[in-house]
Amino acid sequence: MLVSDFDYSLPPQYIAQSPASPRDHARLLHLNRADGRVAHRCFLDLPELLRPDDLLVFNDTRVLRARLRGWKLNTTGPEAGRGARVEALLLCEREAGVWEALLKPSSRLREGTPLLFVSADEKTRMGATALSRTDAGWLVRFQGDLRAALPVLGEVPLPPYIAGQSDGSDYQTVYARLTPDLESAAAPTAGLHFMPRTFEALARRGIESAFVTLQIGVGTFRPMKAETLDDHEMHRESYAIDEKSAGKINAQRARGGRIVAVGTTAVRVLESAWQEGTVRPGAGETQLFIRPGHEFRAVDALVTNFHLPRSSLLVMISAFAGVDTVRRAYEEAVAERYRFFSFGDAMFIE
């Protein structure tokens, strides 16, 4: 299939710049993938739309304050001192003190370039060195305890289509937990709609939850650049499933109950870890590209947001619900002026 098969036109004013207030007052497009029927609801309705014996599976990754701002340093010559501005987006820590990061601008950087990153008030500073290029960006060695400094040195990396800054509270799920080495550069955005009272309503319905962790990289949200799906190279992400959650998920499948994934990142973990009829606990890496033709083994229903054109996430939900069905649902969402992308409205596909 062509990547252009997953393109669509979206008026820019429909790109949400902030979450619904309160978060659970977002709209909810309810899509029946069997016949393509669509109903327009509110996210508050979700607990009533679910079955009492459903199991919801969430990605509980925490968004790292992963954006750093600073300068190249000129160490010699008449222009010694601060040089051109540099911005870093941390992806993951490869070893103690060495992080993989996107550096911007990248083209003028050289191996061994000294860098200085500074907090907004310039009271916190940390030196670094650009070591070498990687497939995704750069390896950067930091001169100090970067994790300890990030609360004041780093910023929340909002997607580029969202203008302005954030203190991070609106780009973090209420159930996020700190899992060292599995923090993310982006939020599992379907989960942003859930509030404590959502979980209380789910509990009253007898609906249980399980949690997995996927380290979300920026590649998740980038448009695909290849012409065909066959030519798209999927990014790699790390994940973990503990024994408790694996036990809940496997028991749910054994008794024939539905597994409802909250977000495409939860889908990716479940489908990657599914082996011989069960989800295997433990840590792993996945480069799974879920596209039309994929046989879903671990997911029966899905809560998700509206995704960017030509993205692997749009391909995934098209594989789940059908390319034509999703295309029609998106056309209706545009016509009904739904809010799109990370801070936008939600879909429930069953």
Domain ranges in the chain are 3-63+168-349, 67-153
The domain defined by 3-63+168-349 folds into: QueA-like (3.40.1780)
pLDDT band at 82 (very low <50, low <70, confident <90, very high): confident
Q: Is residue 257 helix, strand or coil?
A: coil
* Pair 179, 236: CB distance under 8 Å: no
pTM of the model: 0.92
Q: How many CA atoms lie within 13 A of 29 on its CB side?
A: 28
Residues 111-120: tens digit of each pLDDT = 999 999 999 8
List all residues 6 or more positions away from 263 whose beta carbon is below 8 Å from its beta carbon: 58, 59, 188, 189, 190, 191, 303, 304, 305
Q: How far is CA 262 from CA 56, 57, 188, 255, 299, in A?
A: 7, 6, 9, 21, 10
CATH class held by domain 67-153: mainly beta
Q: How many CA atoms lie within 13 A of 270 on its CB side?
A: 30
List all residues 6 or more positions away from 242 whose beta carbon is below 8 Å from its beta carbon: 211, 281
Residue 79 has pLDDT above 60, yes or no: no
Residue 78 has pLDDT above 70, yes or no: no
Q: What does the alpha-carbon distance between residue 316 and residue 272 come to, in Å, rounded to a whole number?
A: 13
Q: Tokens 């780093």 identify what position?
A: 154
Residue 180 has pLDDT above 80, yes or no: no
The neighbour count for residue 269, using CB atoms within 10 Å, is 27
Q: What does the alpha-carbon distance between residue 173 and residue 63 come to, in Å, rounded to a whole number?
A: 9
Residues 243-280: tens digit of each pLDDT = 999 999 999 999 999 999 999 999 999 999 999 999 99
Residue 135 has pLDDT above 90, yes or no: no
**The predicted structure's pLDDT at residue 165:** 67
